């Protein structure tokens, strides 16, 4: 590689988190996040009313209290794990060839700041990796949208490439399998639950080519070229691939969806309902994976690791173990390095 050739810029983008656990900061974060038309996909006026008159004013107190439960000395786990990931990936890549930055889709550091840094480094190409393994319009789609909104104001737009999803990247799967094996070496579980972030069902239907997706096991249960971008299909596929790596029979796995917001129908089965059914069926020991997230955050640590656990134990379950997220696990770092090199 010639040292005279301009470098390639890499932008790792995660969701975003409040600047602090103060209610005002949480409200500001929720407003920016939920006013994104790809997250709450309503027309502007009803979305503005829902977010600014209902969700942000009321939810910010509850959310701030939840954020206090995960906040550490280094701040929000989602933030510091993403910083650690960026540092480790930068360390692994050839420094003469790459410059690596991280950004958050909402709040800070913003995508605009990240892109500015890459521009200042005079990069010849930008590779954007949204740190969401399964494609959703609300996440990966929104990152593409934001990057293009900024880039279209530039005089010179370098080559920009986006990683759409990485559900079947062998190192992504291996990283989860490594973490799962640590728990499975200690004991046997009755069931293996894969709990993914939920989405309003209509968002899946909107993205379905020729109305293929009926949100049934028949379509989402088979990942084919017809539903290649179906979030629900990609989640079932992720479960299958991780289970295969770990030698878990499919009948011992359950794929479900958490974090429903509001009264609309979201993709199912809902994790809360599955927990009730497991308890009713006398299931005692459950190992839980949350592979829609690559860093521990509110959704994994509090929602799955604490709230769902309490619910399961209250209903008669005995053990509910949450596999920690990929964070800055070495195999995951290697996966991101490969994603960069494959797209260079
Ligand atoms: C309509 C609302 C929401 C959609 C759609 C949605 C999709 C979605 N989100 C993630 C990843 C994360 N979400 C996180 C927090 C979070 N998500 C929503 C709402 C929607 N998400 C809210 C209101 C919140 C804030 C917390 C709360 O008040 O409950 C996080 C955690 C951030 C952190 O700082 O810890 C992540 C990560 C995905 C992958 C996704 C679609 C597939
Ligand atoms: Fe979310
Ligand atoms: Fe489907």
Within 201-299, strands assigned E span: 253-258, 285-289
Taking the centre of ligand 3 as the mean of its atom positions, its distance from the CA of residue 232, in whole angstroms, is 6
Residue from 15, 47, 137 whose mutation best tests the ligand 1 pocket (most atoms within 8 A of CB):
15
> Tens of pLDDT along 283-305?
999 999 999 999 999 999 999 99
Q: What would the pLDDT profile of 188-233 be if each residue is shown by its tens digit? A: 999 999 999 999 999 999 988 888 888 888 889 988 888 999 999 9
CA distance 103 to 116: 11
pLDDT for residue 233: 95
Q: Is 76 in the pocket of ligand 1 (CB under 6 A)?
A: yes
Report ipTM for this prediction.
0.95
Q: Which residues have their alpha-adjacent CB atom under 5 A from ion ligand 3?
A: 213, 219-220, 230, 233
The order of strands in the sheet holding 98-104 is 98-104, 8-14, 125-130, 159-163
Rounded Cα–Cα distance for residues 193 and 261 (Å): 21
**CATH architecture of residue range(s) 8-166+330-342:** 3-Layer(aba) Sandwich (3.40)
How many CA atoms within 13 Å lie on the side-chain side of 12? 28
C-alpha 334 – ligand 2 centre gap (Å): 26
Q: How far is the CA of 200 from the centre of ligand 3 (A)?
A: 13
56 pLDDT higher than 80: yes
Contact 296, 327 (CB under 8 A): yes
Q: How confident is the model at residue 77 (pLDDT cuts 50, 70, 90)?
A: very high
Give the residue, 218 or 43, on which the prediction is more confident: 43
CA distance 21 to 17: 10
pLDDT in tens, 100-155: 999 999 999 999 999 999 999 999 999 999 999 999 999 999 999 999 999 999 99
Task: Give the number of whichever ligand sits closest to the CA of residue 292.
Answer: 1
The angle at the Cα of 67, spanning 307 to 115, to the nearest 5 degrees, equals 125
| Amino acid 143: pLDDT | 98
Percent of the chain with pLDDT over 70: 99
Domain limits of the chain?
Answer: 8-166+330-342, 170-322
What would the CATH number be for the domain defined by 170-322? 3.40.50.1400
């Amino acid at each position: 590689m010639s040292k005279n050739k301009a470098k390639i810029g890499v932008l790792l983008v995660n969701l975003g988190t409040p600047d602090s656990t103060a209610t005002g900061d949480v409200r500001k974060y929720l407003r920016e996040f939920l006013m994104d038309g790809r997250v709450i996909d309503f027309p502007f006026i009803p979305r503005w009313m829902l977010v600014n008159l209902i969700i942000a004013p009321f939810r910010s107190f509850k959310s701030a209290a939840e954020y206090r439960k995960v906040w550490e000395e280094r701040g929000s786990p989602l933030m510091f794990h993403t910083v650690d990931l960026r540092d480790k990936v930068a360390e692994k890549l050839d420094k003469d060839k790459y410059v690596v930055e991280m950004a958050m889709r909402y709040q800070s550091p913003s995508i605009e700041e990240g892109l500015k840094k890459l521009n200042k480094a005079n990069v010849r190409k930008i590779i954007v990796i949204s740190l969401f393994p399964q494609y959703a319009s609300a996440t990966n789609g929104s990152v593409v949208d934001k990057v293009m909104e900024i880039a279209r104001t530039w005089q010179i737009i370098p080559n920009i490439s986006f990683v759409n999803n990485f559900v079947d990247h062998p190192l992504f799967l291996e990283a989860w399998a490594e973490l799962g094996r640590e728990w499975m070496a200690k004991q046997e579980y009755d069931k293996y639950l894969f709990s993914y972030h939920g989405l309003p069902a209509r968002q899946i239907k909107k993205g379905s080519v020729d109305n293929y997706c009926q949100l049934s096991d028949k379509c989402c249960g088979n990942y084919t070229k017809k539903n290649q971008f179906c979030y629900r299909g990609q989640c079932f596929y992720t479960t299958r691939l991780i289970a295969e790596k770990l030698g878990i029979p499919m009948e011992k796995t359950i794929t479900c969806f958490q974090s429903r917001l509001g009264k609309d129908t979201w993709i199912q089965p809902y994790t809360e309902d599955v927990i009730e059914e497991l308890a009713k069926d006398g299931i005692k020991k459950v190992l839980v994976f949350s592979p829609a997230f690559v860093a521990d955050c509110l959704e994994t640590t509090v929602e799955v690791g604490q709230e769902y656990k309490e619910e399961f134990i209250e209903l008669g379950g005995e053990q509910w173990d949450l596999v920690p997220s990929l964070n800055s696990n070495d195999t995951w770092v290697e996966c991101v390095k490969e994603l960069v090199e494959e797209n260079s």
